């Protein structure tokens, strides 16, 4: 099945393993330590400034972002789209600076829809929370949400193993790497009635074509394929930064799972529901979504 396709990661070269990876990690760990000792608001403000600075240097990523924004907001001027992109860089700088303070921010977050998640767990079916690279999803996977219950996040391993340990290995729950081994873990989690959180907003070359902002976009169908196979519910969830710096973690009622026998059509139906909801959320808070990934065919970004 598609969700078991192995994720291709190039082996690390000697100079990467023994020189560049440790040096990059040294810088990352130094900033992590700095952000950790600073009060969360100060760290967030500093991170926002650094994010804006980084955005000035990454011209190719800015080009990708502006192309994506034009697809999403054709009615806006180029200056308006540029403003959204600048605010996005600031948001992502804040996001990384806030990572060492995830537990503190979670305690101050407003939780909406938590009874829906508790019911999903109590029903004993397991299931999925589908989210996106929007707001600060790290809050929900950094510690138990209630009692001893943790979400089980799917993630892509960082190429640099030092960064992978810093950024991902501190998460709670069962860590599920993308690829064949991760697919087996997902199946085990579902059989044990666990809840898996997946970010479903990025391109997968081997995915299926699903409408997204009026264009066909290659979309990973694994969440729909597994939900149909295990009769597991899928709920949508998001984390949104508020003007005063706190977050709202919001979960919606489970999607309507199609009952038709045509599994391909049922899969497309589910993924279309997901992309439609993601579109709506992104339009509400465009500066909090990661615009700088190639979501559409690479020919669109020339």
- Digit-coded pLDDT (tens) for 231-270: 999 999 999 999 999 999 999 999 988 877 789 999 999 9
Please give the structure tokens belonging to residue 94: 């804040």
As for how many domains the chain has, the answer is 1
DSSP bridge partners of 128: 196, 234
> What percent of the chain clears pLDDT 90, i.e. is strictly above it?
74
User: What angle do helix axes 222-230 and 180-191 make, rounded to 10 degrees?
Assistant: 30
Residue 2: pLDDT band with limits 50, 70, 90: very low
Residue 42 within a domain: yes
C-alpha dihedral (106, 110, 115, 119), degrees to nearest 10: -30
Tens digits of residue pLDDT in 133-170: 999 988 988 888 888 899 999 988 888 888 888 888 77
User: Rounded to whole angstroms, how far apart are CA atoms 207 and 224?
Assistant: 12
Instruction: State how far the Cα of 165 lies from the Cα of 230, in Å rounded to an integer.
Output: 31
pLDDT tens, position by position, 84-129: 999 999 999 999 999 999 999 999 999 999 999 999 988 888 899 9
Strands 127-131 and 152-155: unpaired
Q: Which domain holds residue 185?
A: 12-301
What is the 3 state secondary structure string of 191-243?
HCCCEEEEECCCEEEEEEEEEECCEEEEECCHHHHHHHHHCCCEEEEEEEECC
pTM of the model: 0.90
């Amino acid at each position: 099945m598609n969700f078991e396709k192995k994720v291709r990661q190039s082996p690390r070269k000697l100079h990467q393993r023994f020189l560049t990876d440790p040096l990059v990690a040294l810088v990352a760990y130094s900033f992590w330590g700095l952000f950790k000792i600073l009060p969360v608001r100060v760290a967030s403000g500093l991170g926002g400034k650094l994010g804006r600075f980084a955005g000035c240097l990454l011209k190719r990523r800015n080009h990708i972002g502006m192309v994506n924004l034009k697809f999403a907001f054709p009615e806006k001027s180029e200056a308006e789209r540029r403003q959204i992109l600048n605010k996005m860089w600031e948001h992502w700088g804040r996001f990384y600076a806030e990572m060492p303070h995830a537990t503190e921010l979670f305690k101050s977050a407003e939780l909406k829809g938590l009874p829906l998640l508790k019911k999903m767990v109590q029903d004993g079916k397991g299931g999925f929370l589908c989210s996106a690279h929007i707001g600060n999803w790290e809050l929900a996977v950094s510690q138990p949400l209630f009692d001893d219950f943790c979400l089980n996040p799917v993630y892509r391993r960082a190429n640099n193993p030092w960064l992978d340990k810093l950024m991902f290995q501190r998460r709670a729950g069962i860590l599920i790497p993308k690829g064949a081994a991760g697919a087996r873990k997902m199946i085990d989690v579902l059989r044990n009635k666990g809840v898996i959180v997946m970010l479903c907003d990025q391109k997968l070359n081997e995915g299926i074509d699903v409408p997204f902002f009026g264009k066909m976009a290659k979309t990973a169908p694994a969440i729909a394929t597994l939900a149909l196979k295990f009769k597991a519910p899928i709920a949508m969830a998001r984390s949104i930064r508020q003007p005063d710096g706190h977050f709202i973690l919001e979960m919606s009622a489970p999607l309507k799972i199609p009952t038709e026998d045509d599994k391909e059509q049922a899969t497309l139906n589910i993924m279309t529901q997901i992309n439609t909801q993601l579109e709506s959320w992104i339009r509400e808070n465009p500066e909090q979504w990661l615009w700088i990934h190639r979501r559409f065919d690479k020919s669109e970004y020339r």
